[in-house]
Structure 1
Amino acid sequence: NEFLVPAIAGDAVCSIAVSEPQAGSDVAGIKTNAVKDGDDYIINGTKMWITNSVQADLLCVLVNTSEGQRHKNKSLVIVPSKTPGVSVSEPLKKLGLRSSDTAQIFFDNVRVPQRNRIGEEGMGFIYQMIQFQEERLYAAAATLKGMEGNIQSTIEYTRERETFGKPILKNQVVQFRLAELQTEIEALRALTYAAVEEYIHGKDVLTKASMAKLKSGRLAREVSDSCLQFWGGMGFMWDSPPARSYRDSRLGSIGGGSDEVMLGIISKQMGILG
């Protein structure tokens, strides 16, 4: 009632605070810690590249709550952003997705009650890995719509724009490339939908979610690059749709798990990592 209900109702903005300046892909390497003091935790540390951090009301923070093994010493703790000791930097100046506020968060002797912990103490890393599967499936699904929009706007532009006496779209090389990209999008859609269906039915989708995330990040860049090319000089203008897509799509292979992390997971699941 205190946190989840207002978040679902849209009355509270939430932010997941996991990454740190020296621990992005290596989630187990975070340094932010929470030390018990009576019935409270005292939190100290810094989080980096945190989405929604500038406007967030509630922060879901991954912290070290013991000195044990790094995969078993972490917990997720809810920290209201107005808690004394919490400070947020100015929005970071990013290459793309500039409408999504991203900043650093600093915790300086931040006191929160232990009852703000989500689930069992020491299970935070496991909980976060489960959440990452959902995030990666969402990323793949959300990317589909953006890529389709990019292709559609390119079709419309190249149908109207003429060079050498005919619309650009009349060139077979343009037609075939757009057809190739649409085929790739449909293949990604099939993989993503299959993974989501299995996840809904309680199956392990670690491999498929990682594959969908990997493919979506790479395909989004491929679509953006090809569409920008077909827009020509206009596509290179900062305010053009393909230019924005080109900038925004680059995060797809970094945020929520880099391509390299996805490949590591897939290789491990295949039994060939090592």
Structure 2
Amino acid sequence: MPDRVLEQYAPRPAGPRLSELRELVRGTIAGHADTWDTEGVIPVEVLRELGRTGVLCAQVDSAYGGLGATSLENGEFTAFVGGLCSSTRSVMTSQGMAAWAIRRLGDRRQRREQLPALAQGKLAAVAMSEPWAGSDLAAMRTELRPEGDTVVIHGRKCWTTAAVSSDLLVVFGRYQGGGAAVLVPTRAPGVRLRPVPAPVGCRAAGHAHIDLDGVRVPAADILGGGGPSISLLVTAALSYGRFSVAWGCVGILRACLAAAAGHAVTREQFGVTINRHQLVARHLAELYVAEQAATRSCEHASRCWDDNSPEVVAATVLAKYTSARHAAAGAATAMQILASAGADDHGVVARAFRDAKLMEIIEGSNEICQLLLAEHAISNTERDTVEGPTS
């Protein structure tokens, strides 16, 4: 592939510390993504190596030993990793969600004990979805029952990303009439992980179903003491997850655009390179527009996050919805441009074709995002009706 094509669609710089780590991460991942995808696993020593650099949860504050990246810096780095390997990016999303949940929901002691460990190699996953509670979080059945100075956990979780390699689970469930999240070691008695055998996409991300049968942990490991509604609790973790997935989709689009453009300027048909054929050129234009639209929506969401804007929730949902839709369509477009060259189930476009579809489902399906955005639109209309439109 010509260097000028790769450079044109190269990811933008992240923060200074993350930029320093980029080549280390590239060297760790590049050349291995297809093997990991085929074998269905990222070696745990690779994840620990990445974890020790802090990149798996780069927004952990420097006071806790983290990189202290802004949302925008971490987002661009997430896109960089997503362009190399969506399975690794999925582990980043899981680790970041766990760290964010502890930061938002945990007390001072829990933050002091857990965040430095997560920023330095301890691996974590968030156990949220259940067989009977996917989008409908209010239907969650996992029970956290207090018994003296302990809490006993009974329930089932499904499709928990990175659970296979994790040391720690952040488990959400019902607790004393409300909801709570509790820290559960994956090796605690009563925890049983059942790896998902053949996921369609992000095959190496370590997805697992989890059985929690009478798991007993200290009551002090309930994050922040528990109490709020399950929906309110889960929103804290989901917002980070949606933000991370959205930026990961930007990475998918950039990788697909680089691969498709590189193929188009070297592949000849009917005496010219195929980028000279107008229908192929249209495909490339659509891919470029998709990457730009996804990038801009993610940048807006990150700026809202960094500025503590009241619009951050809606902006994050918008970014996730926009980026996931474009990634799924863009990967299909790249596959069309590569044609038989992309039909082998290896390589960045083939992986993107499978991985991107899952992005339209996880952390809020396209349909759930549409409902949330419709509610936001109605809320804005009602506010403008009462207050008058803003200039």
Q: Structure 2 length normalisation: TM-score?
A: 0.66
Equivalent positions of 1:113-132 (< 5 A) are: 113-123=218-228, 124-132=230-238
Q: Which residue of 2 aligns with 1:81?
A: 186
For the 8 Å contact 2:195–2:206, the answer to whether it is kept is no
* Amino acid in structure 2 at the alignment position of 1:236: A
| Equivalent position of 2:258 in the other structure | 152
Give the RMSD, CA atoms, in angstroms.
Answer: 1.6
Moved more, 193-202 or 34-43: 193-202
**Deviation, structure 1 residue 231:** 1.0
Of 289, 295, 302, which aligns to 1:189?
A: 295
Q: Which runs of 5+ in 1 are unaligned?
A: none
| 2:318 alignment partner, SS class | helix
| Residue in 1 that maps onto 2:371 | 264
* Aligned-partner Cα distance in 1 for 2:337–2:251: 20
Partners of 1:92 and 1:101 within 8 A in 2: no
Length, aligned pairs only: 267
Pairing 1:93–2:198 present: yes
User: What amino acid does structure 1 have at the position aligned with 2:187?
Assistant: K
Correspondence for 2:94: none
Amino acid at match of 2:146: K
* 8 A Cα contact 2:255 2:348, kept in partner: no
Letter in 2 for 1:58: L
Greater strand share, structure number: 1
Q: Give matches, 1:172-251, under 5 Å.
A: 172-204=278-310, 205-251=312-358
Q: How does 1:18-167 map to 2 (within 5 A)?
A: 18-66=128-176, 68=177, 73-123=178-228, 124-167=230-273
The corresponding residue for 2:274 is: 168
User: Within the alignment, does 1:16 sit opposite 2:117 as a pair?
Assistant: no
In structure 2, C-alpha distance between the alignment counterparts of 1:252 and 1:108, rounded to whole Å? 31
Distance 1:4 1:106 in 2: 26
Confirm or deny: 8 A CA contact 2:201 2:355 kept in the other structure. yes
Whether the 8 Å contact between 2:243 and 2:316 is mirrored in structure 1 is yes
**Secondary structure of 1:54's match?**
helix
8 Å CA contact 2:167–2:186 kept in 1: the answer is yes
Q: Give % identity.
A: 28
| Range with bigger deviation, 38-47 or 225-234 | 225-234
Identify unmatched segments of 5+ residues in structure 2: 1-111, 382-391
1:4 shift after superposition = 2.1
TM-fit CA distance, 1:159: 1.6
- Measured after TM superposition, the shift of residue 118 of structure 1 is 0.8
> Which TM-score applies when normalising by structure 1?
0.93
For 2:225 and 2:239, the matched residues in 1 are separated by 20
2:355 is paired with a residue whose SS is helix
Partner of 1:3: 114
Amino acid of the structure 2 residue aligned with 1:39: D
Contact 1:234 1:240 (C-alpha < 8 Å) held by counterparts? no
SS in 1 for 2:141: coil
SS at match of 2:113: coil
Structure (1/2) with the larger helix percentage: 2
Q: Is the 8 A contact 1:75 1:125 kept in 2?
A: no
Q: Equivalents in 2 of 1:223, 1:112: separation in Å?
A: 45
CA distance in 2, matches of 1:94, 1:114: 35
CA contact (8 A) 1:33 1:63 kept: yes
Deviation at 1:192, TM superposition (A): 1.4
Instruction: Give the Cα separation in 1 of the matches to 2:152 and 2:365.
Output: 31
User: Are the equivalent residues in 1 in contact too, given 2:253–2:290 (CA < 8 A)?
Assistant: no
Structure 1 residues 102 and 17, CA gap change in structure 2 (3 angstroms)? same
Change (3 A) 1:90 1:180: closer
The higher-RCO structure (CA 8 Å, 6+ apart) is: 2
